[in-house]
Amino acid sequence: QVQLVESGGGLVQAGGSLRLSCAASGRTFSSHTMAWFRQASGKEREFVAGIIWSGGRTNYADSVKGRFTISRDNVNNTVYLQMNSLKPEDTAVYYCAGRTGLQIQTQARYEYWGQGTQVTVSS
């Protein structure tokens, strides 16, 4: 069992940066694929970025490539999402998720979810 708690959201101006953190409890964190998803108001939840257990492979949505970076610290059981050059369209609730297995993008495969953290980007 893995429990996830996100932090780091907030209000930022367009062009600014934020770093989200996801603290995980549970001994098996280091063996899990981790990802960030987001859900904007009135829209479906979508994949943002993911990273396999070793950090050796990452995957990003086209809309965030070159601006966002996912990383993980398996010693401290934390996964991060560094978000740069933020745009108003990045405004959403951001969710951390975890799963066993190596397939990164499929939302339905994720077993564990955090409660989400709000990111608001003003123009």
Tens-place pLDDT, residues 11-39: 999 999 999 999 999 778 888 999 999 99
Residues 90-107 pLDDT 10s: 999 999 999 998 889 999
**Distance between start and end Cα atoms, the chain:** 40
User: In whole angstroms, what is the distance from residue 38 CA to residue 76 CA?
Assistant: 24
Q: What is the pLDDT of residue 24?
A: 94
Cα dihedral sign for 31, 78, 52, 103?
positive
